């Protein structure tokens, strides 16, 4: 019997375990496998194979039973994701029903989840900007969070490393607060976007309008063909899954790369209950999993564990990883775990019309838009709110439909394709402040259907966010007016925290173990063989889309972890 137990444990022992297979988990798997470590990837959802498991990717609009709309009866099961821009009949297979994981909203919070191989890397907006030292130094300068333990120089080579593999389109704009990267050819701005760029620069020399930097293969390189990916077809239905691999996802890129090394073991339907802690060795020994099909509890063991379950679930897993040494969650010696949650606010929008450039229109599709990097409080504190916002910007021209008349007259009017004015719009992406009272906790009584404590979420907007939204409306109104735009409309979307995917924090990085959970290598201060490199690790949010930074931090952390293991330090 003892021999049987030893052999059974050996079969469940790996060099490394990765929890989650989204953008950061996929990168952890690729890097660990490529460096020769036998790696187990645990995914709580189903396996999704690139190309074959994208059931709606080639469907025409009329082929959907409800023409893309979701019937109310089905929508009732997806109350939270139904508020999200990604929600449609074409994406239901990648979204999670509310009952799959209940949680407690102490304050309103729309938790967007995607439980399958690839996670939200199949659904993301694919915008990829680097941080600068203005972002890494922000907390130390403004005093609203602990100092980041790294600076741009620490991560710059890793940005380059992941950009070349993922494939990022963009233009070299030479902006100190938005560093250039390793870019494929950029998408083209529309004539009105170029017009806006020129007019803004004339009146506001410190404000820039650039083409977005996006994870799309505009001109694939040999490394992308080796991944089996092809050029982006500009279909703009990316959220269904791209059979061409034109945009970066775990499924099209990092996971197949890990698989071909022969070092990958993928286990879907594996919900992580907790990490196990070895009191004698002072490190995590492995991971306890619940098989979501059978309900069986299984333990897996490894020297290195990467926690990449996405921000809220990574916090939940560590909070639920209790032991005699860590009664309040793994590594949580100072009640920091689950605190200082932050996110990006998208509440501010602005729309207008432009009656110029009527001899031009748009042709074809573009899976990208223009981008206005942050210009408030960058070089100095100049407003009554901390930090700032970036913004998207787009200008398109569409046909105006004439619905007047009856019978033949109506038919004739509908057949006419008259171009209207240009429609322009912007949305803000504001940095929220990590606060001690913004928390994730485990409920003491309520559990989900697998017996795991439900997560209690207490995160909200504050006065700083309201001031920032007001400033966005004021500044962009001035910029729109300078460009000659008319019928300007200021919009507050009233979207709740969490609804835009960019939740961060709770397991933040820092120099001091008393005020942070992770060191500069994304390594738990108090448990050296556990690394967290998804959004949970973020000390602050900056204004850039965060996924590129997750990728770079992950590749950097894996490089360090493997070297430390070879030195027998893990």
Q: Which of 172-186, 273-287, 358-372 bottoms out in mean pLDDT, i.e. has the lowest?
A: 358-372
Task: Tell me, yes or no, whether 316 and 368 share the same domain.
Answer: no
- E strands, 448-549, are 453-458, 486-492, 504-506, 523-524, 527-532
Task: Tell me, yes or no, whether 367 and 473 share the same domain.
Answer: yes
Q: Assess if residue 334 is contained within a domain.
A: yes
Res 364: pLDDT? 83
How far is it, in rounded angstroms, from Cα 368 to Cα 217?
Answer: 12
Split into its structural domains, the chain has a count of 2
Picking from 126, 148, 24, the residue whose alpha carbon sits closest to that of residue 521 is: 148
- Output the CA–CA distances (angstroms, integers) from residue 158 to 98, 154, 238, 550, 555, in the order listed: 37, 8, 26, 10, 7
How far is it, in rounded angstroms, from Cα 12 to Cα 270?
Answer: 14
Res 399: pLDDT? 81
Name the pLDDT band for 415 (thresholds 50, 70, 90): confident
Final residue of a structural domain among 496, 518, 543: 496
* Model pLDDT for residues 26-45, shown as the tens digit of each residue: 999 999 999 999 999 999 99
Task: Tell me, yes or no, whether 102 and 150 share the same domain.
Answer: yes
Picking from 198, 221, 168, the residue whose alpha carbon sits closest to that of residue 544 is: 168
Q: Show the tokens assigned to 558.
A: 């894996």
Q: Assess if residue 525 is contained within a domain.
A: yes
3 state SS for 2-55: HHHHHHHHHHCEEEEEEECCCHHHHHHHHHHHHCCCCEEEECCCECCCCCCCCC
Task: Tell me, yes or no, whether 235 and 194 share the same domain.
Answer: no
Res 410: pLDDT? 82
Q: Assess if residue 182 is contained within a domain.
A: no
Res 1: pLDDT? 40
How far is it, in rounded angstroms, from Cα 51 to Cα 56?
Answer: 10
| Residue 356 backbone dihedrals phi, psi, to 5 degrees | -95, 180
Q: Assess if residue 2 is contained within a domain.
A: no
Res. 126: pLDDT tops 50:
yes
Q: Assess if residue 180 is contained within a domain.
A: no
Q: Assess if residue 178 is contained within a domain.
A: no
Residue range 144-169: mean pLDDT, rounded: 97
Q: Assess if residue 123 is contained within a domain.
A: yes
Res. 12: pLDDT tops 80:
yes
How far is it, in rounded angstroms, from Cα 534 to Cα 526?
Answer: 19
Res. 500: pLDDT tops 80:
no
* Model pLDDT for residues 519-544, shown as the tens digit of each residue: 999 999 999 999 999 999 999 999 99
Final residue of a structural domain among 476, 496, 516: 496
Q: Assess if residue 43 is contained within a domain.
A: yes
The residues, ordered by sequence, that sit 6+ positions from 121 with a Cβ below 8 Å of its Cβ are: 22, 23, 26, 248, 249, 250, 251, 547
Task: Tell me, yes or no, whether 289 and 363 share the same domain.
Answer: no
Residue range 23-27: mean pLDDT, rounded: 98
Res. 5: pLDDT tops 80:
no
Task: Tell me, yes or no, whether 97 and 194 share the same domain.
Answer: no
| pTM of the shown model | 0.96
Res. 199: pLDDT tops 70:
yes
Q: Which of 115-129, 388-402, 447-461 bottoms out in mean pLDDT, i.e. has the lowest?
A: 388-402
Final residue of a structural domain among 496, 520, 546: 496
How far is it, in rounded angstroms, from Cα 61 to Cα 11?
Answer: 48
* Model pLDDT for residues 231-270, shown as the tens digit of each residue: 999 999 999 999 999 999 999 999 999 999 999 999 999 9
Res 7: pLDDT? 74
Res 480: pLDDT? 98
* Model pLDDT for residues 203-235, shown as the tens digit of each residue: 999 999 999 999 999 999 999 999 999 999 999
Task: Tell me, yes or no, whether 150 and 228 share the same domain.
Answer: yes
Task: Tell me, yes or no, whether 481 and 386 share the same domain.
Answer: yes
Quickly count: other Cβ atoms within 10 Å of residue 446's Cβ: 13
Query: How far is Cα of residue 10 from the mean position of the Cα atoms in its chain?
Result: 35
Res 2: pLDDT? 52
Task: Tell me, yes or no, whether 328 and 258 share the same domain.
Answer: yes
The residues, ordered by sequence, that sit 6+ positions from 141 with a Cβ below 8 Å of its Cβ are: none
Task: Tell me, yes or no, whether 381 and 246 share the same domain.
Answer: no
Task: Tell me, yes or no, whether 278 and 357 share the same domain.
Answer: no
| Residue 335 backbone dihedrals phi, psi, to 5 degrees | 55, 40
Res 80: pLDDT? 93
Task: Tell me, yes or no, whether 372 and 399 share the same domain.
Answer: yes
3 state SS for 240-290: HCCCCCCECCHHHHHHHHHHCCCCEEEECCEEEEEEEEECCCCEEEEEEEE
| Residue 172 backbone dihedrals phi, psi, to 5 degrees | -85, 105
Domain containing residue 323: CATH number: 3.50.50.60
* Model pLDDT for residues 328-379, shown as the tens digit of each residue: 999 999 999 999 999 999 999 999 999 999 898 888 899 999 999 999 999 9
Query: How far is Cα of residue 159 from the mean position of the Cα atoms in its chain?
Result: 16
- E strands, 465-554, are 486-492, 504-506, 523-524, 527-532
Per the structure, the complete domain to which residue 541 belongs is given by 14-170+214-343+436-458+501-570
Averaged pLDDT score across all residues of the chain? 95
């Amino acid at each position: 019997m003892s021999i049987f137990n030893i052999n059974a444990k050996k079969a469940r022992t790996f060099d490394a375990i990765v929890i989650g297979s989204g953008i950061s988990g996929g990168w952890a798997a690729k890097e660990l496998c490529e460096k020769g470590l036998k790696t187990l990837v645990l995914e709580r959802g189903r396996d999704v194979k690139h190309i074959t498991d994208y059931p709606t990717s080639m469907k025409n609009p009329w082929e959907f039973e409800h023409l893309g709309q979701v019937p109310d009866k089905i929508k009732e099961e997806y109350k939270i994701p139904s508020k999200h821009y990604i929600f449609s009949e074409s994406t239901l297979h990648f979204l999670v029903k509310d009952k799959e994981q209940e949680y407690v909203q102490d304050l309103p919070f729309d938790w967007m989840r995607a439980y399958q191989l690839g996670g939200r890397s199949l659904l993301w907006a694919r915008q990829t900007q680097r941080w600068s030292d203005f972002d890494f130094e922000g907390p130390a300068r403004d005093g609203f969070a602990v100092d980041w333990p790294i600076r741009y120089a620490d991560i710059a080579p890793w940005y380059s490393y992941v950009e070349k593999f993922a494939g990022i389109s963009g233009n070299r704009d030479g902006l100190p607060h938005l560093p250039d990267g390793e870019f494929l050819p950029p998408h083209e701005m529309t004539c009105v976007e170029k017009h806006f760029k020129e007019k803004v620069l004339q009146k506001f020399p410190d404000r820039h309008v650039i083409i977005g930097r996006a994870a799309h293969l505009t001109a694939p390189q040999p490394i992308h063909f080796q991944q089996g990916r092809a050029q982006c077809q500009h279909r703009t239905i990316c959220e269904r899954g791209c059979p061409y691999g034109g945009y970066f996802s775990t499924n099209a890129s990092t996971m197949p790369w890990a698989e071909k090394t022969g070092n990958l073991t993928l286990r879907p339907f594996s919900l992580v209950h907790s990490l196990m802690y070895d009191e004698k060795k002072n490190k995590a020994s492995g991971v306890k999993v619940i098989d979501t099909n059978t309900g069986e509890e299984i333990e897996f063991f490894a020297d290195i564990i990467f926690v990449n379950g996405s921000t809220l679930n990574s916090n939940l897993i560590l909070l639920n990883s209790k032991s005699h040494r860590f009664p309040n969650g793994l590594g949580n010696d100072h009640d920091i775990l689950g605190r200082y949650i932050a996110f990006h606010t998208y509440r501010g929008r602005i729309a207008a019309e432009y009656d110029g450039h009527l001899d031009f229109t748009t042709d074809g599709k573009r899976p990208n838009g223009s981008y206005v990097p942050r210009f408030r409080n960058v070089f100095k504190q100049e407003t009554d709110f901390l930090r700032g916002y970036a913004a998207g910007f787009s200008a398109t021209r569409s046909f105006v439909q004439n619905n007047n008349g009856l019978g033949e007259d109506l038919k004739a009017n509908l057949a006419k394709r008259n171009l209207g004015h240009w429609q322009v719009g912007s949305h803000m992406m504001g940095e929220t402040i990590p606060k001690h009272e913004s928390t994730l906790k485990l409920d003491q009584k309520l559990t989900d259907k697998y017996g795991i404590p439900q997560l209690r979420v207490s995160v909200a907007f504050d006065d700083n966010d309201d001031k920032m939204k007001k400033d966005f409306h004021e500044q962009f109104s001035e910029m729109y007016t300078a460009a000659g735009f008319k019928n300007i409309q200021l919009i507050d979307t009233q979207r709740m925290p969490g609804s835009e995917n960019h939740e961060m924090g709770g397991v933040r990085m820092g120099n001091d173990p008393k005020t942070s959970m992770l060191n500069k290598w994304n390594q738990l201060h108090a448990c050296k063989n556990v690394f967290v490199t998804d959004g949970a690790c973020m000390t602050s949010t900056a204004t850039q889309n965060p996924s590129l930074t997750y990728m770079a931090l992950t590749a950097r952390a894996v490089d360090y972890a493997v070297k430390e293991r070879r030195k027998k330090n893990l």
